[in-house]
Amino acid sequence: MPTISTVLGQMDTSKMGFTLMHEHLLITSAGIKDVFPDFIPRQAAMQEAVRRLNEAKTEGISTIVDLTTMDLGRDIRLIEYVSRVTGVNIIAATGTWLEIPRAFRTADPEDISRLYIREIKEGIEGTGIRAGVIKVANDVGGVTEAGEIILRAAARAQKATRVPIITHTWAPERVGDQQIRIFESEGVELNRVCIGHSNDTTDLDYLTGLLKKGAWVGFDRYPSHRPDVPDWRVRTQTLKALMDAGWTHRLMVSHDDPMTMLIAPKAVFAERIKRNPDHICFIKRHVLPYLRELGATDDQIRLLVVTNPRSFFEGAT
Ligand SMILES: [Zn+2]
């Protein structure tokens, strides 16, 4: 039976159930939890994550992928605690987000990939808790020189471990195309890659291009994190258009709505919480019913939230 690394140990993939592919329990910045821990409301963040995950669990969500990397202040013991208390399976990430450490910006991708491989094979920060996914991020302006180093490091860690990659992109600039070009040049099997944040665009030509290349596509920003990108209904209409074009088996969903976030001004984060009181139940409560209204069947919805995440982690074709 295929297994995946969760923060509580190896788990049979058949136990994943309803899975959200891109979430965060707590995001801060690298190093703060060790040097200035009083800056982080850790107890409150833990309680908030427990409350949110208990609520999600009641509504049938059983697994989340927490894509918080070291440069987002990943706190692996906090993630482990929350999973243990709530019983929600959590898959943790290695890799790097946009705040690439200065020491990595001129490093050899091979040296960075060894660090990722260690987090996947041996564990994170000496805990023995193994990463189950690799995260990379490129945003507005596309892949920078340092971003390319990280992509190549991720590609090599993927090839060495078979663990999949989930990316952060800026879809309005078709940044997924650039990521794919680099993964291809490294010989990564694109079936092991999910191009994330793809629902920040309605460009079906771009999205279909990613799918035709063989990558998975993440509709993993819900409801909508800023006013200049499609709202949640338009996102869902785009999702349905791809489903109607025959791609239901290659699409996955999530919110990317952090439960506690210290990298935005307090007022901005408070506003975000106010805008989405459903938090990580938004998809369950609004997107899936709207998809049904648009004509999606229960079988199709099951593919999006149960079967596809499992196939993605299993590396099934
Ligand atoms: Zn994210």
Q: How far is the CA of 152 from the centre of ligand 1 (A)?
A: 20
> Cα of 121 to ligand 1 centre, how many Å?
23
User: Rounded to the nearest whole angstrom, what is the distance from the C-alpha of residue 85 to the centroid of ligand 1?
Assistant: 23
CA distance 240 to 69: 31
Q: How far is the CA of 24 from the centre of ligand 1 (A)?
A: 7
Is residue 13 pLDDT above 70, yes or no? yes
Cα–ligand 1 centroid distance for 38 (angstroms) = 24
Distance from the alpha carbon of residue 237 to the mean position of ligand 1, in angstroms: 22
Which homologous superfamily is 3-314 in? Metal-dependent hydrolases (3.20.20.140)
Boundaries of every domain in the chain: 3-314
* Cis upstream peptide for 223 (omega within 30°): yes
CA of 68 to the centre of ligand 1 (A): 7
* pTM tops 0.85: yes
Asked if the model's pLDDT at residue 279 lies above 70, the reply is yes
Are 262 and 29 in contact, with CB atoms under 8 Å apart?
yes
CA of 97 to the centre of ligand 1 (A): 9
The pLDDT tens digits of the residues spanning 139-182 come to 999 999 999 999 999 999 999 999 999 999 999 999 999 999 99
Confidence of residue 317 (pLDDT cuts 50, 70, 90): low
Question: Quick one: pLDDT at residue 272?
Answer: 85
Q: What average pLDDT does this structure show over 85-114?
A: 98
Of 196, 222, 203, 236, residue with least CA distance to 275: 222
d(C-alpha 3, C-alpha 80), whole Å:
18
